[in-house]
Structure 1
Amino acid sequence: MDEIRIACPSRLHIGLIDLNGEIGRIDGGTGIALEYPRTVIYAKKSDRLEVECPQDPTAVGRAEEGAREVMQRYDLPPAKIIIEERPFVHVGLGSGTQLLVGVAKVLCHLAGRSVNANELGSVVNRGGTSGIGVASFEHGGFIVDGGHKFRTGDAANSKSEYSPSSAVRGLAPPPVLARYDFPDWDILICVPAGEETAGIREVEIFKIVCPVPPEEVKTICHLVLLKMLPAILERDLESFGFAIEESQKYGFKRFEFRAQSRNVLQCMDFLKQNGGIGVGMSSWGPTLFAFGEQLTDLCEKTRRFLDENMDGTCFVTRANNTGMKVLG
């Protein structure tokens, strides 16, 4: 193979499950792979490593670093890599994971190497807290991941601190506990002007707010196991929406909301008041989401609301149930 082009799905991160850790595991999470927006990466064989990203030149350095890590790990030849599509960054759609795992994947493909996304995620240091992005790349669908061992004394396979993925190096992404095809409901994505939470600020918030109360962790687990998952299997939109909105009241998500601007809270209220089901915030935000059978009208209303009150964008998409796709 001399060239390849792949499409990598964005994801919604509904929430982390356990940032208490009293039973010897932390993290865990729920999320959904999206058809749009996506990361599209083209690569062809070359005698030296070249990376281009016309849409977002700031991504080049990060992509080059990831490429060199995977080339060194597997002794891969260089390539010319062009990032042809790139979603909004630092808004809660998981663009960093798709960029780095995608770059690693095209290099492996060109060299005829078959390496799964979980292993590649470890090489490029993704999945050290949430495993939803890596699992979305590999499988698509609705995903529940099982988190990481915590303070077990096994330094190679255990976390010793509460920390975001950006601050974790060399730890494998967590196991996938459940993965199901997501129903063909519309998913409204709304990205109002809000706060970007990344880097040092993200690390500091983890240090301040963790551990979260164990009672809240148990409530989230109850909602995921006996409300959210059955609702997906039974295609019960109302029950799924209830589980989403209830789960976002507890645990670490409460603090993710506190880090956001008033714009985000106003948009959430608007979506709920105008028929959005399962309204929530992805990761740290500001990306918001809602579910429904047909959300074109709500999208138009939301677009007018944004135009009149704040900067932002919105669109309707659906779940990606296949993961990364080879386009040619």
Structure 2
Amino acid sequence: MDRPRNFPEASFVDRAATVALRAPARLHLGFLDPAGSLGRSFGSVGLVIGGFETEVEISASPFDRITASGPAAHAEIERAATCVSLLQAHTGRRDPLHLRLLQVLPAHAGFGSGTQLALAIGRAFALWHGVGVPTATLAQWLGRGLRSGIGIAGFDHGGLIVDGGPGENGAPAVVLSRIPLPEDWRVLIVQDCAQKGLAGEDEKRRIAGLPPMSQALAADICHQVLMRVLPGAATADFAPFACGVTRIQQVLGEHFASAQGGRAFASESVGCLLGWVLQHRAEHLAGIGQSSWGPTGFAIFPSQARAEAAIDAMLAAGIVAPSLTLRVVSGRNTGATLLDRRLSSPLASTP
């Protein structure tokens, strides 16, 4: 049985139990003020989505071991081992365990794969050892949330999230707003299997090489978020929401273009497809853009029918490149899910 949880401050798990978690993907819709023109850098707006998940499981073992299901998960074993080592160091809990990576998000594609894997492992570790610790603390221990807090807040709550950027002491970004996405709205995910997004040292280097964003452009982004994106989502008024998201992405696409080969989209194929949506906005109004460094793009529609009609039109126009995959998903208004997999006794928790 899958149950969404507000994870307690303290928990107890019978050591005969297996603790398993599923964590959702997120789309990063943009930074509010990359240059920190008022003294606080970054700040973000983002959206948690369904259809893409990380799943991990911890159980007892005679010795520490990590196993993985499939090539994508196997590629994350080293990262997972680092997470376990950090958690053991911070908590002092070194009981032998078996960590299984059952499913992972596409890496370096704009879904927040690293943060969701780290937090899923961290929360499962804490529950299995009966350690009460907030998700923000787990994120600090594991080196996540250094720029954006969307993945951390999304792990706990889901929904459409705005954060104020990380604190000077390295604390994860404070959540300023969390609004559930209207149930009827749909997100068309456009993945380019032919390339990966930036990550690690390359990402840091390219961010450092960007020119500062003007205060006027940062103000434009914040204006769009506050007066279009958030009110649109809160009242299920799709048009201002879509226009606000698209404008934010246009500003940021131009700003980050020099780090993406001179393009607003990392993937030329994704950019062409979503540019077509923008050109046909009278028929297919959508909020379009790229998540993080891509290459994944998105188009948010007011309904399943509108999303499917847009896909049919794209296919008829012959603009879907062979490397692209299209998938329609819902927004997700809940965070990570705790799975109750009983071996000899139930998973129990105390508030």
Fold conserved between structures, TM > 0.5:
yes
- Residues 204-283 of structure 1: pairs in structure 2 closer than 5 A: 204-251=205-252, 254-255=255-256, 259=260, 260-272=266-278, 273=280, 275=284, 277-283=286-292
CA change 1:47–1:271 in 2 (3 A) is farther
Please list the CA deviations of residues 216-275 of structure 1 after superposition, one character each: whole Å capped at 9, or x if unmatched: 111111111111111111101111000000111224763158611322211212333372
Structure with larger Rg = 2
Partners of 1:74 and 1:59 in 2: CA distance: 23
Shifted more, 300-309 versus 316-325: the winner is 300-309
Q: Does the aligned pair in 2 maintain the 1:14–1:30 contact within 8 Å?
A: yes
Q: CA RMSD in A?
A: 2.0
AA aligned to 1:223 is: Q
CA change 1:276–1:67 in 2 (3 A) is farther
* Partner residue in 1 for 2:189: 189
Gapped regions of structure 2 (runs ≥ 5)? 1-12, 261-265, 341-351
- Residues 80-229 of structure 1: pairs in structure 2 closer than 5 A: 80-149=98-167, 157=169, 171-184=170-183, 185-192=185-192, 193-229=194-230
* Partner residue in 1 for 2:59: 44
1:284 equivalent in alignment to 2:284: no
CA change 1:305–1:39 in 2 (3 A) is farther
Question: What is the TM-score when the length of structure 1 is the normalising length?
Answer: 0.88
Partners of 2:180 and 2:219 in 1: CA distance: 25
* Partner residue in 2 for 1:4: 19
* Partner residue in 2 for 1:168: none
Gapped regions of structure 1 (runs ≥ 5)? 151-156, 158-170
Report the Cα offset of residue 172 of structure 1: 2.1
* Partner residue in 2 for 1:164: none
Q: Does the aligned pair in 2 maintain the 1:302–1:314 contact within 8 Å?
A: no
AA aligned to 1:255 is: F
Q: Does the aligned pair in 1 maintain the 2:213–2:255 contact within 8 Å?
A: no
1:58 equivalent in alignment to 2:75: yes
Please list the CA deviations of residues 116-147 of structure 1 after superposition, one character each: whole Å capped at 9, or x if unmatched: 21111111000010110111101111100011
Report the Cα offset of residue 284 of structure 1: 0.7
AA aligned to 1:197 is: L
Report the Cα offset of residue 196 of structure 1: 2.2
Please list the CA deviations of residues 130-169 of structure 1 after superposition, one character each: whole Å capped at 9, or x if unmatched: 110111101111100011346xxxxxx1xxxxxxxxxxxx
1:319 equivalent in alignment to 2:331: yes
Partners of 1:96 and 1:21 in 2: CA distance: 25
Partners of 2:128 and 2:257 in 1: CA distance: 40
Q: Does the aligned pair in 1 maintain the 2:26–2:151 contact within 8 Å?
A: yes
Q: Does the aligned pair in 1 maintain the 2:314–2:320 contact within 8 Å?
A: no
**Share of identical aligned residues, percent?**
28
Report the Cα offset of residue 79 of structure 1: 1.6
* Partner residue in 1 for 2:10: none
Partners of 1:209 and 1:19 in 2: CA distance: 10
Deviation above 6 Å: which 4+ runs of structure 1? 303-307
* Partner residue in 2 for 1:73: 90
Q: Which has the higher contact order (CA 8 A, sep 6+)?
A: 2
Q: What SS is found at the alignment partner of 2:53? A: strand
Q: Does the aligned pair in 1 maintain the 2:210–2:259 contact within 8 Å?
A: no
Q: What SS is found at the alignment partner of 1:230? A: helix
Report the Cα offset of residue 297 of structure 1: 3.5
Please list the CA deviations of residues 64-107 of structure 1 after superposition, one character each: whole Å capped at 9, or x if unmatched: 10111012101222321111111211110111111011111111
CA change 1:74–1:251 in 2 (3 A) is same
Q: What SS is found at the alignment partner of 2:130? A: coil
Partners of 2:320 and 2:178 in 1: CA distance: 39
Aligned residue-pair number: 309
CA change 1:308–1:183 in 2 (3 A) is closer
